[in-house]
Amino acid sequence: MGLMAGLLSGCSAIDALQPPAVVDIVRTIDNKANITTQDYDQLEDISALVFQQIRDIDPQIHPQLQLSSRTRFIDEIRERTESGFGPDLIITDSETALTLYRSRLIDPIQLSEQDRQDTPQSLLDLVTAKDGALVARPVNQFVQLACFNKERLPTAPRSLEELKQSSSDATFGMAVQLKDLFWSAEAFDASPALKAAMDSPSTVQAHREKVTAWLRWLVDSSYQQNIRFLNNQGNLRDGLIRGELDWITCWSNNLRGLKQKLGDRLGVTALPKGPNQNRTATTRLEVWALGRNSSPLQRRKALLMLDFVTKPWAQKTYSLATNNAMPVSQKAATVVASKIPGGNEALRNYISAERPLSKMRVKARIFRDPVRYDTISDALLDTIYDIQTPEQGAEQILQGLREKR
């Protein structure tokens, strides 16, 4: 203990000789045109905890957090970077980080083999560009769940068949964006068909039938009087709060805001299962990326912060503090899974024996490639809105993925 105190004292003395460094951090939030004080208040507790513990290690770090809507986020970062005042750290999702990298607005991250060992390769794949660069570092995973009003829907459906039967008594909502609907593709075990299309010049009938069954379910759902497809998650949450929807797909990082509005009426459960009974949890990755305008001192401090928040003990501490995110650290995930909504199901994503690594990478290969992502997104919209049949939509998806090989 005396040795540790001496080391800390020595570090403090060294830090005191270093100049202070303001680390400018920008964090995206979901689909909002205007950032409010309430948005900052919701993040203040955990941000203050993280920043204070970082400053306990290095008092010369002065983090400054700014929130930004995803509406014009890429353009805002481009304008700031081109003017020389870009952020030092960007906290966002994996798809946005890849877009920033393709736009040359962030620098890649060098990660040692030792630092990679505690993070599942499938998560690193989600932030690995086509040129092999790691464009950001995974920090958290948000689990996709079902949120419902317990007063209007006492028991949430556990299967897609139950959802269809319940739609005569309650109103269900889903977002039409691929990132919010990919869980349903896995529910119909369509992932192997998508992988085969990316890897093979031809399509077997069984794969075509899997994708067609998925799209047919989406079309049938759109015909149901009380199943609604809305543009985004924000619209779903507003509908649930206003009582216009009784059940929605949601993400674990939105639970706090929904709980504040709905109180004890809020119910949370796993998404319903489909024909694929072994479907694992769908998660969305939160990552930290390095801006391009940092001074050498700011870059060192930013990397120190990044290393700090990915330590297993830090991952465990912040996950339990927020109660809404799974750690990317495998060591921490096994400790906190039972405390996080959807955590036990998400934990299976870490176990390659239960979910083969090749299958885990299907989503990464689609989501990190804008052409593949748009190919499936366009087919989904055309099929859901009855512009084409499920059979035509399936062929559009599979052919588009084959052509992109």
Helix/strand/coil (H/E/C) assignment for every residue in 119-160: CCHHHHHCCECCCCCECCEEEEEEEEEEEEECCCCCCCCCEH
pLDDT in tens, 209-229: 999 999 999 999 999 888 999
| Same-domain check for residues 344 and 398 | no
The Cβ-side half-sphere exposure at 299, using a 13 Å CA radius, reads 12
Q: Kindly state whether residue 109 falls inside one of the protein's structural domains.
A: yes
Q: Kindly state whether residue 312 falls inside one of the protein's structural domains.
A: yes
The Cβ-side half-sphere exposure at 142, using a 13 Å CA radius, reads 21
The Cβ-side half-sphere exposure at 34, using a 13 Å CA radius, reads 3
- Split at pLDDT 50, 70, 90, the class of 114 is confident
How many domains would you assign to the chain?
2
pLDDT of residue 375: 92
pLDDT in tens, 240-263: 999 999 999 999 988 888 998 999
pLDDT in tens, 298-322: 999 999 999 999 999 999 988 888 8
pLDDT in tens, 44-98: 556 777 888 888 889 999 999 888 877 788 999 999 999 999 999 999 999 899 9
| Same-domain check for residues 210 and 82 | no
Q: Kindly state whether residue 162 falls inside one of the protein's structural domains.
A: no
| Same-domain check for residues 25 and 114 | yes
> pLDDT above 90 covers what percent of the chain?
50
Domain boundary among 306, 323, 350: 350
| Same-domain check for residues 52 and 95 | yes
What per-residue string of b and e applies to 30-42 under the rule 16 or more CB within 10 Å gives b? bbeeeeeeebeeb
Q: Kindly state whether residue 17 falls inside one of the protein's structural domains.
A: yes
Largest CA distance in the chain: 73
Give whole-number Cα distances, 349 to 212, 278, 330, 334, 338, in Å: 26, 11, 10, 11, 14
Q: What is the CATH number of the domain that holds 19?
A: 3.40.190.10
| Same-domain check for residues 118 and 53 | yes
| Same-domain check for residues 340 and 394 | no
Confidence (pTM): 0.83
User: Does residue 65 contact residue 43 with C-beta atoms inside 8 Å?
Assistant: yes
| Same-domain check for residues 209 and 128 | no
Which of 244, 250, 248, 181 lies closest to 30, judged by CA?
250
Q: Kindly state whether residue 163 falls inside one of the protein's structural domains.
A: no
Task: Give me the sign of the Cα torsion angle 285, 329, 130, 356.
Answer: negative
Q: Kindly state whether residue 136 falls inside one of the protein's structural domains.
A: yes
| Same-domain check for residues 108 and 194 | no
Average pLDDT, the chain: 85
Query: Which residues, in sequence order, are bridge partners of residue 144?
Result: 251
Residue 256, C-beta contacts closer than 8 angstroms, at least 6 positions apart: 42, 322, 324
Residue 168, C-beta contacts closer than 8 angstroms, at least 6 positions apart: 225, 226
> Kind of pairing, strands 61-69 and 21-29?
parallel
| Same-domain check for residues 13 and 98 | yes
Identify the weakest region by mean pLDDT among 126-130, 274-278, 369-373.
274-278
Q: Kindly state whether residue 261 falls inside one of the protein's structural domains.
A: no
387 φ, ψ to 5°? Answer: -80, -30
| Same-domain check for residues 198 and 111 | no
pLDDT of residue 13: 43
Domain that holds residue 68: 2-142+284-350
| Same-domain check for residues 331 and 375 | no
What SS3 state is found at 113?
helix
- In the chain, the N- to C-terminal Cα span, in Å, equals 58
Q: Kindly state whether residue 264 falls inside one of the protein's structural domains.
A: no
User: Does residue 272 contact residue 159 with C-beta atoms inside 8 Å?
Assistant: yes
